[in-house]
Amino acid sequence: MITCFDIGGSTIKSAHARQGGEIEILDRVATPLDDFDAFAAIIAERVTWGGRTARGVSISITGVVDPASGSLKCANIPCIDGRNVAADLERVIGLPVWIANDADCFALAEATSGAGKGHRNVFGVILGTGVGGGLVIGGRIVAGAGGYAGEWGHGKALQTVVGQPAVEIPHFACGCGQRGCVDTVGGARGMERLHHVLCGEVLPSTDIIASWRKGEAKASRTLEIYLELVSVPLALTLNIIGSSIVPVGGGLSNVPELIAALDREVRRRTLRSAADPLLVKAELTTEPGLIGAATVGFQEIAHA
């Protein structure tokens, strides 16, 4: 058994796992943002929950681990930002600790237990508040747990002149410090930003999508530009990595028409001619972070 965690800026979710796809949910608590001792205590308490002792701890987290130094970049949880969290937690609980990025865990869960099962090369895409991704080849996260592979949402990738008739779109500043990243337009907040620039309206993404579904002209223009801006770098990414399936998670994945439209735009821009959809809604709608974290842990034990 291992204890697995899915940690975000608001909550820590925990579970016991006997194998990757089978988890027993423990609880959900608020994430201590500024107190590492309190953060570590939550992890330590759940390792022995119910009188059982885990073989190790596996964590899916919102952040990335530098593969060389082990240092975690996690801006929304200040008490662990810049720490070698695995090593620090190991000293507290006396067990091995493995940490992986949450998008990587999502991709791994989908590759082993979800929409990507049976595919060797799976690229998991998150279209939520922002944009994320994780690459799994041969059932393993590429670049190891917590690496930067799959982060297609960052880098100066966006076109500035798009649509018919053409319109000029500025390169927006991104939270990563660059400008023109897919993350600035590809998630729900990005769609809202794009709609404001194009149409002068401040609307939540849910309203934009509802109007698009009805064929409203302004929303349709926003989605036309959105689809072109997002599909071009995603198609390029797939040309490079060669994935045969792309499970999509995050809030925008709950709009089937949007995923279908994005899939059509991506497939017509990729070199590989695919008759079947590449982009599909993720199958694991319940706790993919915990399932992915558990899978990471059992893989690490098996390869120890």
Q: What is the pLDDT along the chain (304 residues), one digit of tens a residue?
A: 999 999 998 999 999 998 766 899 999 999 999 999 999 999 999 998 877 778 999 999 988 888 788 888 887 899 999 999 999 999 999 999 999 999 999 999 999 999 999 999 999 999 998 899 999 999 999 975 556 788 899 989 999 999 999 999 999 999 888 999 999 999 999 999 999 999 999 999 999 999 999 999 999 999 999 999 999 999 999 999 999 999 999 999 999 999 999 999 999 999 988 889 999 999 998 899 999 999 999 999 988 7
Torsion sign, CA atoms 146, 13, 2, 42? positive
| CATH classification for the domain delimited by 2-104+286-302, as one of 3.30.420.40, 3.30.1330.30, 3.20.20.140, 3.90.1150.10 | 3.30.420.40
Examine domains 2-104+286-302 and 117-281 and report if their fold is the same. yes
Q: Which of 273, 278, 270 is nearest to 239 (CA)?
A: 270
Tell me the two tokens of residue 70: 């082990």
Per-domain boundaries in the chain: 2-104+286-302, 117-281
- Write down the pTM of the prediction: 0.92
Q: Domain 117-281: which CATH class?
A: alpha beta
Q: What is the pLDDT of residues 32-55, one digit of tens each?
A: 999 999 999 999 999 988 777 789
